[in-house]
Structure 1
Amino acid sequence: MNRRLAHEMSRVGGGSWEVVAAAPKYFDGSDLRPVRLELRADEPCRVVPLNAYFTRRPHLFLYGRQLRSLLREGWDAVHAWEEPYILAGGEVAWWTPRDSALVFRTAQSINKTYPLPFSLVERYAMHKAAGWICSGSLVEQTLSARRGYDKPRARIPLGVDTEAFRPDPEAGRNVLQKLGWAGGAPVIGYLGRFVPDKGLNLLTAALDEVPGEWRALFVGAGPSESQLREWASKYGDRVRICTDVTHDFVPAYLNAMTVLCAPSQTMPNWKEQFGRMVVESFAAGVPFIGSDSGEIPFVVRDSGLIVGEKDVAGWARAIGELIASPGQRRVLADKGLQRTRDEFAWPVVARQYLNFFERVLAEKRN
């Protein structure tokens, strides 16, 4: 699912573009579960497994010499889905031939001062780059004024797999049955990491104030799990915390939710850079409530509800009103599905990527 951009670029650009995806064979990550590269027999593009080292530290991890060999195959464009200030981003820049147009994808919505060696890595990588892509207006605004980013740029949203994320009531009912929740009260959902940045404390405080019958489903993992389970213990069967849901089963769990909540919180060193869960809920036809942190309001627009990131009473009120109004839920679901078709489906997003690469190549040749 995480290779869908490469897949769709290969399909959309068939005959004009040869697309290759290079990915780590194994990535440990920090607060996420380890990921092993799984190859499929029907990959629409060539996939090159790469050794990667020190992956417990995303800022410090590095690729091996296989990447250097791949980058020397004579590519017109190299798209680095790595930040330009991390060591792997600098490594990609170092090994990309000057004849190739190097384009970074970045998600930095806060203008940060990086310590050595990261500041030097960023300076070198952006000097080498022919352009950059971001997914949010705040990221574009922040970085366009930053030294070294005066290059061609494009704001292109994250995509969503509409074959996987789609309205599927039967899949939702199966999940509810598995949870022992067949029928009954509406389900208030959360999907993402269990960390303070994602606002779990606000959401649980708001749920304490939501009147009537409701159930809550938390899907994810992270260091705040024990705190979340302590809160859930007072609600017994009304709350489920699922930490073993793999990515391919997320759409079914999303379809089990009456509404999806994303109460992200702005932190000194982080604010929501896009919100993949927003477009996944849109694609599944699940009404969405999000905080006003970072990019969320700009992604949601009028296709969901936005509540202040510190407004516990406002969150309780929004949740209560939405689960009590099937009509409003239908309106929001329809708007989200239309936005998905127009803006977030992978073929639409892939075409924007290829258009930008073509623009960068034309400017490089001139």
Structure 2
Amino acid sequence: MRILVVSHTYIVDLNCEKLRSLAQLEPGTEVVVVVPKRWRPGGVQKGTIEPRSWQEGSFRVVPVSNWSENHQGLLCFGAELVTLLQQFRPQVIQVEQGSRSLAYAQLIVLNRLLKLNAKLLFFTWWNLPYKLKPPVSWLEQFNLRYTSGIISGNQDGAEILRHHGYEGKIQVMPQLGVDEARFCPQPQHQLAAQLGIQPDQFVVGYVGRFVPEKGLLTLCDALAEIHPEFNWKWLLVGRGDLRPTLQEKAQKAGIADRLIWVESVPHAEIPNYLNLMHTLVLPSETSQDFKTLTSAGWKEQFGHVLIEAMACRVPVIGSDSGEIPYVIDDSGLTFPEGDAAALRDRLTQLMAQPELTRSLAQKGYDRAMLHYTNLALAKQQLAFYRQLE
């Protein structure tokens, strides 16, 4: 099977692991990934990325000249794409820029003009209800009309596309998997000592942005009411503008001495910090005006740190925002978003019941290995392609 994947996501080599695994699943499978030749993920101020062309066996990354260097929806490609399509003649074309992208419309048109007869798919993370006006609504309807299948990063995204009229096959799975060679159980005694964590302390962990929508203020409220009999620390790994507010709130609650701040950690070092934790908490909180269906707002699209923690055999606690409950399933604990009392109850359960902590750690690990490694996702993706034949 010849598979063409188009996305700015794969300008980062590390993000290609799932597709590299896909190319190795069966003899005769070839995967070519088209990425923009120039991309500015943070705008002009953040600089420009110019990805390299590289190949490993039947897997290949090809940078192609592009219009729009930092807008996913407006991204489209130059004439080299036509030559590549003529030479490679893919049987599956997957564009990972959402339902309203010009790149997907471009590939639909080229598929027809070049008579490739490839199956057409797109990937989307979008999980908030929305209304569209012409010409964007026309673009989405055109894209949906010629779509053979959709891969949605979450359940909400799939339901929204059904509401917008799509009746074909939809597979729900994340765009990127977890690297079980990096994210795995590994003791961190030296790092714990460096951070002042004692062996008898229960470490409540968070990894991500320090912003209001991540629910850190709720987590602070929950920890502030933990019974004094429990000996715990709160390890926060990340960065963001909420830190001063959170520090002040913890100070007023009398728990500031229990906080450990670790900022600007390279992704490759995140497993070290996850392995210090007795639980990883993702207390995300949804925000949007659903009555007007404006695009403003946010809902947790997946929560990739959850599967990274699970792969490290760290039990997870998450709110019920967006995709979190589906990711955790019965392999961790969930609570109603914004409910500090409920979150305190979940934390206390783990602190008071070591057996429960160990049981959930193993269940989470098993779930991550079965469903969320790059190889597991590659197998799901290939199986979905087979359904479209």
Query: Counterpart of 1:259?
Result: 279
Q: 1:20 aligns with which of 19, 25, 32?
A: 32
Q: Which amino acid aligns with 2:28?
A: S
Is 1:201 aligned to residue 210 of structure 2?
no
SS of the residue corresponding to residue 244 of structure 1 reads coil
Quickly say closer, same or farther: Cα 1:113–1:253, change in 2 above 3 A.
same
Q: Highest Rg: 1 or 2?
A: 2
1:239-254 maps to which residues of 2 (within 5 A)?
239-254=259-274
For residues 102 and 244 of structure 2, the distance between their equivalents in structure 1, rounded to whole angstroms, comes to 33
Query: Counterpart of 1:47?
Result: 61
Shift of 1:8: 1.0
Q: 1:338 aligns with which of 366, 373, 386?
A: 366
Query: What's the RMSD between the two structures over aligned residues?
Result: 3.0
For residues 260 and 329 of structure 1, the distance between their equivalents in structure 2, rounded to whole angstroms, comes to 11
Shift of 1:177: 3.7
Q: Which amino acid aligns with 1:130?
A: S
* TM-superposition CA deviations, 1:326-353 (whole Å, max 9, x none): 2111000111122123222222221121
Q: 2:181 aligns with which of 143, 163, 175?
A: 163
Query: Counterpart of 2:160?
Result: 142
For residues 215 and 356 of structure 2, the distance between their equivalents in structure 1, rounded to whole angstroms, comes to 24
Shift of 1:302: 1.4
* TM-superposition CA deviations, 1:299-338 (whole Å, max 9, x none): 2221101111121111122112212322111000111122
TM-score, structure 1 length as denominator? 0.84
Q: Which has the higher contact order (CA 8 A, sep 6+)?
A: 1
SS of the residue corresponding to residue 286 of structure 1 reads coil
Q: Which moved more, 1:221-230 or 1:76-85?
A: 221-230
Shift of 1:283: 1.1
Q: 2:148 aligns with which of 118, 124, 130?
A: 130
SS of the residue corresponding to residue 24 of structure 2 reads helix
**Runs (5+) with no aligned partner, structure 2:** 1-13, 289-296
**Runs (5+) with no aligned partner, structure 1:** none
SS of the residue corresponding to residue 156 of structure 2 reads helix
1:1-366 maps to which residues of 2 (within 5 A)?
1-13=14-26, 15-24=27-36, 26-29=39-42, 36=49, 43=56, 45-50=59-64, 54-63=68-77, 65-73=79-87, 74-97=89-112, 99-147=117-165, 149-157=166-174, 159-169=177-187, 172-181=188-197, 183-211=199-227, 212-231=230-249, 235-268=255-288, 269-360=297-388, 362=389
Quickly say closer, same or farther: Cα 1:10–1:264, change in 2 above 3 A.
same
Quickly say closer, same or farther: Cα 1:71–1:119, change in 2 above 3 A.
farther
For residues 51 and 351 of structure 2, the distance between their equivalents in structure 1, rounded to whole angstroms, comes to 39
Quickly say closer, same or farther: Cα 1:336–1:104, change in 2 above 3 A.
same
Quickly say closer, same or farther: Cα 1:11–1:239, change in 2 above 3 A.
same
* TM-superposition CA deviations, 1:62-85 (whole Å, max 9, x none): 555555554444211111122121
